[in-house]
Chains A and B, each alone.
Chain A
Amino acid sequence: MSRYFTEDHEWIQVDGEVATVGITDYAQSQLGDIVFVETPEAGKTVSKGDDAAVVESVKAASDVYAPVAGTVIEGNAALADNPALVNEDPEGEGWFFKLTLADAGEVSSLMDEAAYKDFVSKL
């Protein structure tokens, strides 16, 4: 199991053919209190960089992009009733959606944890 990051502050955790996607702790801290999350329907196919989910905070509404191509297996239903999970545990319980990867090799183009940490420190 390994975790990768995008420059748009999504994380993706790969476990075999299945990956879980969410937004990073840095992203939630910038957004502030999150009040609404729209996750994608199961079965939706996404290409890398497609709009996959929407996150809305008291400050702004933002799109969450698919870090890699794949087919959505499920959205995190818990976020509908409790969007605050994204603030409380962004890189755990506050995950957005799971998908099956179209190309397992695609994640290698993303940043690892150290590279992302370095990226954020320069923002």
Chain B
Amino acid sequence: MSNINQSGWRPTTPQAGEASGGTFTGNRALMLEEPLIFEIGSTETTGVDFGEAPSGKSRLGGLERSRTIGLPGLSEPEAVRHYTRLSRQNYAIDLGLFPLGSCTMKHNPRLNERMARLPGFADLHPLTPVDACQGAFEVIHQLAHWLVTLTGMHSVAMSPKAGAHGELCGVLAIRAALDAKGQQARKVLLVPESAHGTNPATAAFAGFSVEDIPATEAGRVNLEALKARLGPDVAGVMITNPNTCGLFEPDMREISEAVHAAGGFVYCDGANFNAIVGRVRPGDLGIDAMHINLHKTFSTPHGGGGPGSGPVVFSEALTPYAPLPFVEKQGEQFVLVEEETAGEHHASSFGRMVAFHGQMGMFTRALTYILSHGADGLRQVAEDSVLNANYILRSMEDVLDAPFAKSGPCMHEAIFSDKGLPEGFSTIDVAKGLIDEGFHPMTVYFPLVVHGAMLVEPTETESKATLDQFIGAFRSVAARARNGDPTVKTAPHHAPRRRLDETLAARKPVLVWKAPVRAEAAE
């Protein structure tokens, strides 16, 4: 194990004297320095009293553990403080704007949390008999209804557990539909350069070979190149709309028609659905399958607070191949359609994505969000997310290069490049500078079609006052970088840790903590 941290190397902390002199503890006022749990805990102490293990004959056949496992013990207050201190060094959507492009880090309404914590939902076991959890099934059924209605599609598979899991569900349904038609030879999925980063990985994982379709100068799918590549070996296309350049694909209908005419299917990555919800129905654009990130568009928590949830809506053509299980209403009763009950009613299903029903806690939150907003509220979600992104785009375009600003308004995210920064300065420096200003950085170096991309997604939940404060900080850091201010190269200066050596971390990752060799052991 050459990767173990033999050297005891640590990320650098702000130097003593850099702010206003070092302290005895290393703490800076209420920002507390915190060692690793292995360094404060001891194998000699414990916060819990365990009874003596019952004596008896071991039946492990000589496979008993021969050494202690060396877990550190702490008292309860020590353990609580350790994790609370660490959490204070973190950044969260409840602390401030989280402008990560493509991630849709919007506020998680507290009403959602209240509904999800109702004991009738929160304490349900997935194996609860069907007639004892009708309320939960009604939530799943109602949410499914609204997802189908909002997208103008034919059906929905609720079980996929995240965006990429939903993508996999969609392309497996495409595979099943092609196989059912005897079209095993269709092995190629076309993925435009402006697609979400997970799309090619999903296609490859599902056994397709992936081919790129170039983007136009304006950051959109090159329709002619796409049409030219269609043929009897093409299973379909995976397209992101609005795409990762933050732009709407206006040729979507023509793309779908061309793909269908060539015998393929259209998968749409719905990660950016929040920009068009209530305004555009993907079903009207000829899409066959699309996942919806409940943790983006419908405000359920993610980014460490997760879990995600990625229901997939299907066109009529793909519906017979959708995975099990799903909830159906028969008379006044909600029933769960599973392998035993599907029968001829759903015989072509490609199988199952998960053991149970999906992310129940996220379903409750997402339905709460939909019902509390209503149709007009959801339309305003899309409008405000687009308005906020355009406000940032137009407020920044004189200090940062905005490659697609000329092609008109952006959708829900604004994109900038590192063009115009002086030699030696790059996107990473602007991102690190924003940390000093107290903001989580934007998405960097993605999408790949933009050199040194900075992708900013403010979401609709930020007020103008918050956006103005962010723009002020962003403009200040960008202007300092443009002017070659060397302190931007070494940012962050005020964070709990200084800039990490990402190259060293990737080349020689320290994956396992190892006790330092004690002096007496060396003697």
Give residues in A with beta carbon < 8 Å to B.
33, 35-36, 56, 58-60, 83-84
A35 touches B507 (CB 8 A): yes
B2's nearest neighbour on chain A, judged by CB, is A81
The reply to whether the CB of B121 lies closer than 8 angstroms to some CB of chain A is no
A84 touches B445 (CB 8 A): no
| Cβ of B146 to closest chain A Cβ, rounded Å | 38
- Across the interface, which residues of A come within 8 angstroms of B332, CB to CB? none
- Is the beta-carbon distance between A59 and B445 smaller than 8 angstroms? yes
Give 17 CB contacts A-B under 8 Å: A33-B502, A33-B503, A33-B506, A35-B503, A35-B506, A35-B507, A36-B506, A36-B507, A56-B506, A58-B502, A58-B503, A58-B506, A59-B445, A60-B445, A60-B448, A83-B507, A84-B507
Please report B residues at the A interface, Cβ cutoff 8 Å.
445, 448, 502-503, 506-507
A85, chain B: closest CB distance, angstroms: 12
Most chain B beta-carbon contacts within 10 A, residue among A33, A36, A60? A33
B3 to chain A, nearest CB (A): 12
Minimum CB–CB distance for B100 against chain A, Å:
17
Q: Is the interface of A mostly helix, strand, loop or mixed?
A: loop
- B-chain residues with CB within 8 Å of residue A83 when the two chains form the complex: 507
**A86 → chain B, closest Cβ, in Å?**
12
Complex: A60 Cα to B502 Cα, angstroms: 13
The distance in angstroms between the C-alpha atoms of A35 and B507, with both chains bound, is 5
| Cα–Cα distance between A110 and B216 once the two chains are bound (Å) | 26
Nearest chain A CB to B429's CB is how many angstroms away?
13
Name the residue on A nearest B507 (C-beta): A35
Q: Is the interface of B mostly helix, strand, loop or mixed?
A: helix
Closest to B506 in A: A35
Chain B residue numbers with a CB within 8 Å of A84 are 507
Given A33-B503, A56-B506, A83-B507: 14 more A-B contacts, CB < 8 Å: A33-B502, A33-B506, A35-B503, A35-B506, A35-B507, A36-B506, A36-B507, A58-B502, A58-B503, A58-B506, A59-B445, A60-B445, A60-B448, A84-B507
Residue among A56, A58, A84 with most chain B CB within 10 A: A58
How many angstroms between the C-alpha atoms of A72 and B502 in the bound complex?
A: 32
Q: Chain A residues near B445 (CB, 8 Å)?
A: 59-60
Chain B positions within 8 Å of A59 at CB level: 445
For A36, the chain B residues whose CB sits under 8 A away are: 506-507
**CA–CA, A83 to B506, complex, Å?**
11
CB closest residue in chain B, given A56: B506
**Nearest-CB residue, chain A, relative to B427:** A59
CB closest residue in chain B, given A33: B503
Q: Complex formed: what's the CA distance from A83 to B509 in Å?
A: 14
Kindly state the separation between the CA atoms of A56 and B506 in the bound complex, as whole angstroms: 10
In Å, the complex CA distance between A83 and B445 comes to 21
Q: Which single residue of chain A is at the shortest CB-CB distance from B452?
A: A59
Neighbouring A residues of B448 by C-beta, 8 Å: 60
Contacts of A35 in B (CB 8 A): 503, 506-507
Give 8 closest A-B pairs by Cβ, nearest first: A35-B506, A33-B503, A58-B502, A59-B445, A35-B507, A58-B503, A58-B506, A60-B448
